[in-house]
Structure 1
């Protein structure tokens, strides 16, 4: 599905966030020559198609910067970068620059949930109501995006599997329209943030304070689809953050730090950028009539504020180096540099197709593909992307991890979510002579 780029100064939250890899990480995330590069990975040092892509955008100042990391197996990643933290600035972007990764938060939350599944604290097919009783008797809109009072009972319980795979029937303020969208805004069910600036057309509704309050209010809103029937991009991973809190006995942000970030050596991934690290933060741009305009300057970024709650669907800031470490851990089936972060089983299951047998993907952005714990699954690859132009994946067939970061919105203003995987595929094809 295509979405328009900015055609007027009215920059809506929907236009900014309902774009790109939040919805489409690119159908070329895996496949092609990924299964035929065993020899190439021992000698490859050049990625001409990826380098050309970066030059095309960062070199032409369509974006302030682009940083790509590409790594084979356990080897150190090769970094290809160009540009500065802000257009006109002097500080160069690189592997330790900080980016708003938006929905690339979802795979991290998904893997956090898989840790608890592996420990037996939650089950994939366990009813959500076992952990959050408010979800025991959900009601569903009789008409999708229609009345919020003309409802029918849910035909089956929401399960943890459904939360992880966007099949729980939950809505999303950046996807839904009509009364349900209005209800989400009125109730503060807003698991995303863009800027402190009063940008015309950008919704200023305030999110609720606290993940517990978010979960309680969401339980009172109707579902948009019957649970387990269809893939529909949702707040499922945000709600999973609350499940993780209750099941683990820790705050969601502390759980991520203690169980993933610290053991994986991810020292630059936060929900709030520390004041001491502002000098590494990039500026996020809105694309207006083909030109980038600053919408979240680093020095006054909304990511310097403590968020209303830790947003497991879209809340993290990270660096290319840090996210590569997350990918490296996944590619090592839970082990990074000899240290086990997750069990092999947890990673194998989380990066496999977890879609319920009752759910269809027909007519959706993942039609014909699988979906795992917070990320797309396709031909031996797992990954997802973010609303401000970031995209990342691991390919188990190729033993490759690939990550690209830049900052612009809406992400469909440029075709980078598809163009980066395509460039990686082109380089892989050249390596193998296919």
Structure 2
């Protein structure tokens, strides 16, 4: 009997993602083979040094291949377990963590942020040359998840942005609690719920996860997602025994790719004080594919439930108010709304991402990593590279090829 209890107490080991011949799940091998020359052309054009592509249909890998170099200087090829800085692809994982606590009734979507983080009790809103006014209504957890709280990243030229630049809330040496205290006295750019503003919302959300769960953010993610999902290479830094697997970061300058951050000496080799929920994780393409497949499955993966199906629907369908018809990030993203964690295609509009499918959801990361999921097509795609500044070359090149490979 004691042996039985011991067996029941053992963690369930995650299985490998299954593979399938493309034709067995309604895709064409011949059409998917067009990915190879397309990526090789981008490398030849010096638009990236190396890239990795993963395609899953109906939960099975139908295509996975790597191209080019993880480090050109070291002549190190990019391989299946190369580790990438995924930056803003962290956001979806943080959002899932908060929504898991919502499912467990440890927080509510319409809770004011200040219920969990009292430092935000007296938030104000910038009013041009006038004195800031009181934030009304108070920003909620829902606002953090859909980027309507009014927080900035400090990228603009407003007095609010200059305060972000001064306080440096995303400094890797600041803890999450130090970060929230640093920005709590800075006015919001807009009244909550009125505008979609890409900012430190998800970093604040990570601190909410800590407060609501009573655990360090990294511990919560490790225990509740990474270990059970089998995401063995995902975390806030690359441990010493895996350091040789971290890719270099490249930057395009005058048509030439130069090394912007070599893996050797990268800040991601050290555990940071700031466990950034908005952009702090490193991962592999397969690890991230496992997370996305769980979402595509409606919150389930290999027999374990992580999120309720209705909760996943909130993540993957547009949750913006009618007053916000589409998101703006650099430019107007026509026909694109935002759920509680992902951008969502709400209408077909050739002025933005012309090959996207209705209902498709996804996002990307600063070093030009991308992913998209088409629920209707039972399709999950992840592309990885390490190229600055952010560009969508891989996504724009491969999306039509992959969709055209669907034959049934």
The normalised TM-score by structure 1 is: 0.80
Task: State yes or no: 1:213 paired with 2:178.
Answer: yes
Among 164, 180, 184, the residue aligned to 2:145: 164
| 1:296-331 CA distance string (max 9 Å, x none) | 111111101222310000111110111111111111
Q: How far apart, CA to CA, are the structure 1 residues paired with 2:315 and 2:200?
A: 18
| 1:351-380 CA distance string (max 9 Å, x none) | 222224554537664443221122101222
Task: State yes or no: 1:185 paired with 2:160.
Answer: no
For the residue of structure 1 that corresponds to 2:71, the secondary structure is coil
Among 390, 393, 408, the residue aligned to 1:416: 393
Q: Check conservation: 2:370, 2:383, Cα contact below 8 A.
A: yes
- 1:430/1:281 Cα in 2 relative to 1: closer, same or farther (>3 Å)? closer
For the residue of structure 2 that corresponds to 1:84, the secondary structure is strand
The normalised TM-score by structure 2 is: 0.85
Among 339, 345, 353, the residue aligned to 1:372: 339
How far residue 129 of structure 1 moved from its aligned partner, in angstroms, is: 1.5
Q: How far apart, CA to CA, are the structure 2 residues paired with 1:128 and 1:176?
A: 24
Q: How far apart, CA to CA, are the structure 2 residues paired with 1:303 and 1:362?
A: 30
Q: How far apart, CA to CA, are the structure 2 residues paired with 1:417 and 1:82?
A: 12
Q: Check conservation: 1:188, 1:207, Cα contact below 8 A.
A: no
Q: Check conservation: 1:330, 1:394, Cα contact below 8 A.
A: no
More strand by share: 2
2:26 aligned residue: 42
How far residue 335 of structure 1 moved from its aligned partner, in angstroms, is: 1.8
For the residue of structure 1 that corresponds to 2:194, the secondary structure is coil
- 1:355/1:208 Cα in 2 relative to 1: closer, same or farther (>3 Å)? farther
Aligned runs of 1:248-327 on 2, under 5 Å?
248-327=213-292
Provide the aligned C-alpha RMSD in A: 2.2
- 1:85/1:397 Cα in 2 relative to 1: closer, same or farther (>3 Å)? same
Q: Check conservation: 1:335, 1:342, Cα contact below 8 A.
A: yes
How far residue 180 of structure 1 moved from its aligned partner, in angstroms, is: 2.2
Task: State yes or no: 1:330 paired with 2:309.
Answer: no
Q: Check conservation: 1:172, 1:234, Cα contact below 8 A.
A: yes
Q: Check conservation: 2:325, 2:337, Cα contact below 8 A.
A: no
- 1:243/1:358 Cα in 2 relative to 1: closer, same or farther (>3 Å)? farther
Q: How far apart, CA to CA, are the structure 1 residues paired with 2:210 and 2:380?
A: 30
The count of aligned residue pairs is 372
Q: How far apart, CA to CA, are the structure 2 residues paired with 1:120 and 1:105?
A: 23
How far residue 241 of structure 1 moved from its aligned partner, in angstroms, is: 0.3
Q: How far apart, CA to CA, are the structure 1 residues paired with 2:62 and 2:267?
A: 30
Question: Does 1 or 2 have the higher relative contact order (CA < 8 Å, sep 6+)?
Answer: 1
| 1:255-310 CA distance string (max 9 Å, x none) | 11111111111001111110110111100012111111111111111101222310
Q: Structure 1 unaligned runs (5+)?
A: 1-37, 191-205
- 1:418/1:428 Cα in 2 relative to 1: closer, same or farther (>3 Å)? closer
How far residue 348 of structure 1 moved from its aligned partner, in angstroms, is: 2.2
1:400 aligned residue: 379
Q: How far apart, CA to CA, are the structure 2 residues paired with 1:382 and 1:280?
A: 29
| 1:148-187 CA distance string (max 9 Å, x none) | x7312212110111101110011112x3224322211221
